[in-house]
Amino acid sequence: MVSGADGERLPAWVTWRPRPFPDANLLLLHGSRLALVDSGFVGHAEETAAWAHARAGHIALVVNTHWHSDHVGGNSLLQAAGSAVAAGAPEAAAVARRDPGCCQAEYLDQPVAPYTVDQPLHDGQLLRLGDADWQVVATPGHTPGHLALWQPEERLLAVGDALSDYDVGWVDLALDGPEAATTALASLHRLAALAPKTLLPAHGPLPADPSAAFATALRRARRLVEDPDGAVRYGARRVFAFALMIRDGIPATEAEPYLHARAWLTDAARLLHLTPETLAAELIDTMLRSGTIVLRDGRLHAAAEHTQVDAEALRVPFPRAWPNLYSQRNE
């Protein structure tokens, strides 16, 4: 765990907890309005809630940088304990109307427990978190509603999945359009212009040199713009690796049929002018040869560090079956 004692890089009222996949890092902001930025994967929701409550008591507000499963998985449990949830306005509106595409949960086959958004957030809005005012910075690209949080006095910047110390977030050219990579690059330029003293990424360690982290991220993001096919393949690798992480691997004999049934794989194959069967075989072969996945005891596993998930935790409904928002409010 990293707190204000870490080389004085963080104020004493900030607690930052790095976590391996399938969870996002946690950012706890202490003060009169206790806030948690992102809530991890549903498989570790109880651990997330217990950690936050042990260190801060009641969490007044959970702020989601975006709605992917590794960032909103604890929302439901925390909301049941009285926390409000805030998220970017485009995603908040979709959650409110119970759009079947919420969180890309069914599309990506990544379970998310039902939740509501109490406070839609807009670009430039000031948000009281802990005892400090943070500015909402719209940073679409990784998702259309992705946002960052900027604390100008301390020059702290929580960037979600816009970048990390080693990578940038993948973009979904099939769902979000061919301009998604260009949009993500523009968002990175906007964040870099803030010249933060400390970057707080949702994955990976605190970058020692924010300027260098931005330089690396901008190079990677430009490659996604310049090589759309590469961007599609990059996203496919990330999504498949995540699927392996949350399922403790997939039997090797079942991996290709699993991929054939995925909407994201079908879309990726269409963009690459391949059949789903060809792309599935290529994806597995490429990832095995690169070492990003491994074959062990007849199962394919993600090679990156990750925390095991109890299979029972994945048994939550997809958004098309989430309880109606009006009914929830009147129970």
pLDDT at site 8: 58
pLDDT at site 324: 85
Topology (CATH level 3) of domain 228-314: Arc Repressor Mutant, subunit A (1.10.10)
Residues of the chain with CATH 1.10.10: 228-314
Residues of the chain with CATH 3.60.15.10: 14-226
CATH of 14-226, one of 3.60.15.10, 3.60.150.10, 3.40.50.300, 3.30.1240.10: 3.60.15.10
pLDDT in tens, 121-173: 999 999 999 999 999 999 999 999 999 999 999 999 999 999 999 899 999 99
CB 217 within 8 A of CB 186: no
pLDDT in tens, 256-276: 999 999 999 999 999 999 999
**Residues sharing a CB contact under 8 Å with residue 309, sequence separation 6 or more, in sequence order:** 22, 41, 43, 44, 245, 246, 247, 248
State the average pLDDT for the chain: 95
pLDDT in tens, 174-233: 999 999 999 999 999 999 999 999 999 999 999 999 999 999 999 999 999 999 999 999
| DSSP character string of 280-325 | HHHHHHHHHHHTSEEEETTEEEE-S-B----GGGG----GGGSPPH
Model confidence, pTM: 0.96
CB 32 within 8 A of CB 61: no
pLDDT at site 119: 98
